[in-house]
Structure 1
Amino acid sequence: MTGASAATRLHLPGSSPVHRLPAEVKIVAAVTFVFVVVATPREAMWAFGAYLALLAAVWTVAGIRLSWLAPRMLIELPFVVLAVLLPFAEGGERVVVAGISLSVPGLYAAWGILAKGTLGVLVSLTLAATTAVRELPEALARLHVPGSITTIVVLMIRYADLLAAEAHRMRIARLSRGDDPRTLRQVGATARGIGGLFLRAYERGERVHLAMLSRGFSGTVPAFGPPARSTDWISALAPSACAVLVCTTAWVTA
């Protein structure tokens, strides 16, 4: 696999107005939207429905289908499991639902995790679907993100598939030698394999960094294209501005 295949899995090519917006304005809009969702009181359930409606409007303009989003939402499953357990594990006031005693604070906590976590994942997927990976370095540079962080993010995206392929080759090599990683007695071998993969990743990172330095890399990613226009900022931040209004109303009416 290559870095391009990683981009293909999350990026949905298109020519919609959302796709054409500069990456830096979409990043700021997405981060703002997520912060607003997190700041919303969990008791204001209507507000989360309003956020979902705003995202649905963006999906309509960008041509993003629910059938594309649904399988990529599986990354949220660990948080769903945690949310399901909270009404049983929390203390405080209890309520009986279908003959089962549940914690009221646990129910609110579970709702908060599900609602805010789901919206956060949906915002991230929307950003990834409409923004190509190659646009990220310049966008982060325009946002004045420290050069070291930009470099780490770019290399992580570029070499994630290479490390996954390396781990797969190591697993095949173990299996071809009669190893069964599913048994408990192979825990030590699995740990050594993870350590070996870490060392290989570290060595590969050193080689790549030296190669970059030999080609004149100065530690910062230059921005070549024109900066985003004021109309781009207004268009990208419009859903976030609506979200801020919803959040403010939720706090006022709480």
Structure 2
Amino acid sequence: MGAGHAHKLYRHGHSPVHALPPHCKLAAALAFVIVVVSTPRAAMWAFALYAVLLAAVAAAARIPAAFLLKRLLIEIPFVAFAVLMPFVVPGERVVHVLGLSLSQNGLWDAWNVLAKGTLGVAASVILASTTELRALLLGLQRLRLPPLLVQIASFMIRYGDVITDEMRRMSIARRSRGFEARGVRQWGVLGKSAGALFIRSYERGERVHLAMVSRGYTGTMPVIDEVTASRAQWRNAAALPLAALCICLLGWTL
């Protein structure tokens, strides 16, 4: 399995969370997100407890709060979408803020998106911060994800940096010839650059495929490492989703 280099989200460490097998962490994160999404939006206290659980996991993984908060900025587009919901969602406009009439249903929907989206992103960031890309791919394979999807993800990770470097070289070549994208008139050049990048990437993919076939590739990648997990490790990984499930059940009953 390729892509052994560390990604930018990964934070090297020797914590108990880092030591868990990748498929255990993947299953725990997925189960946690499902429980969070299933929680009624009116149970605000439940989401606060979910945040406490994630904070405890981050503390156990020795992830600084600044590191986690900085990477939560990726959800800014969702925040912008949620901010607009009180203005566009139909419903009774009984809430007034700064002279603006806000939809009550829109406010609840905005809270629902923000709370569940933030918790889901935080869980994903913690997962990525404690698991290398190579381990994530092995974990997906261990969880019996279709092998073709695992291979596609592996190639995307391995050659994403290659394509990024190609884009950087093309940008340097344009600037060295005095090109600067200042307006609509330069869009044609950028469009041609995008087309050239696509052709180069396609040709590189063909060369890589021919090289793999010449080395015996038949559609499946060999498994270099076999990851396993003990019952104790599964219990440790299940602690987060099980605690969240108890909170969710209380949210539906109270």
What CA distance in whole angstroms lies between the structure 2 residues aligned with 1:220 and 1:143?
Answer: 16
Sort the Cα spacing of 1:166 and 1:59 in 2 relative to 1 into closer, same or farther, 3 A.
same
How far apart are 1:226 and its partner, in Å? 5.0
Alignment-derived partner of residue 107 in structure 2: 107
CA contact (8 A) 1:138 1:223 kept: no
In the alignment, which residue of structure 1 is the partner of 2:246?
Answer: 245
Distance 1:137 1:10 in 2: 15
Deviates more, 1:26-35 or 1:86-95: 86-95
Distance 1:175 1:4 in 2: 33
Q: In structure 2, what is the Cα distance between the partners aligned to 1:201 and 1:251? A: 51
Distance 1:239 1:107, change over 3 A: same
Q: Distance in 2 between matches of 1:59 and 1:170?
A: 40
Question: 1:155-194, aligned counterparts within 5 Å?
Answer: 155-194=155-194
| TM-score, length-scaled by structure 2 | 0.91
The aligned length equals 250
Q: Deviations over 1:197-251 (max 9, x none)?
A: 2222222223223333333444144263352111111100110111112122212
SS at match of 2:96: strand
RMSD (Å), alpha carbons = 1.9
Give the TM-score, by structure 1 length.
0.91
Report SS of the residue matched to 2:126: helix
Point out the more displaced range, 85-94 or 119-128. Answer: 85-94
> After superposition, what is the alpha-carbon deviation per residue over 1:28-76, rounded to whole angstroms, capped at 9, x for unaligned?
1111111111222222111111111110110111101111112212211
Find the aligned partners of 1:140 and 1:165 in 2 and give their Cα distance. 27
Post-superposition offset of 1:15: 0.7
Equivalent residue letter for 2:231: S
Partner of 1:48: 47
Cα distance in 2 for residues equivalent to 1:202 and 1:227: 37
- 2:139 is aligned to 139
Matched, 1:210 2:219: no
CA gap 1:223/1:172 in 2 versus in 1, 3 angstroms: closer
Q: Which amino acid aligns with 1:111?
A: W
Unpaired runs of 5+ residues, structure 1, are: none
Letter in 1 for 2:96: V
Runs of at least 5 residues in structure 2 that lack an aligned partner in the other structure: none
SS in 2 for 1:9: coil
* Aligned CA distance change for structure 1 residues 246 and 202 (closer, same or farther; 3 Å): farther
1:8 positional shift = 4.0
Q: Which residue of 2 aligns with 1:98?
A: 98
